[in-house]
Amino acid sequence: MAPTPRGGRFTERLRHSATSAAFLVDDPALRTVAGAVGACDAHALGPANPSGLHGHVTHVSTDPSRRHRGHARVCLDALLTWFREEARVTVVDRNATADGAALYESYGFEAPRHPAPRLRTARAPR
């Protein structure tokens, strides 16, 4: 069960980007059964963040019929290794559903010390 760096609908973005990655687990009968996708975005440089990049785990999912077999963990391991070794990211954020919270907690993800309020603006006219 080794993830492969590919990415369904993200393929084009991944093909031309050093700041996005996807790792998948395939099953011969079902095709892709699990995946983890991440991207980096630029932030201010600093002593704790010399690359100026923050990582974000954008998607982790597993086919319901293949859950609890370690597939999501294998994909997330590969993605976090990519963030650390390839992208040189020192900060990784994530959003999680209740179903995925325990997986992230097992890696040491924790609630941010400073909440990030969000404002949604009206969509700009075309």
User: For residue 73, what pLDDT is reported?
Assistant: 96
Average pLDDT value over all residues in the chain: 85
The confidence score (pLDDT) of residue 13 equals 65
2-48 pLDDT, tens digit per residue, is 554 544 555 666 766 788 999 999 988 888 999 999 999 998 888 87
Collapse the DSSP code of 118 into the 3-class scheme (helix H, G, I; strand E, B; otherwise coil) and give the result.
coil
Beta bridge partners of 4: 24
Q: From CA 13, how far away is CA 33, in angstroms rounded?
A: 21
Taking the mean position of all CA atoms in its chain, how far away is CA 115? 20
Structure confidence at residue 80 (pLDDT):
97
Confidence (pTM): 0.80
Query: What is the distance between the alpha carbons of residues 90 and 75, in angstroms, rounded to a whole number?
Result: 19
Give 40-74 pLDDT, tens digit per residue. 999 888 887 888 889 999 999 999 999 999 999 99
Predicted pLDDT at 19: 87
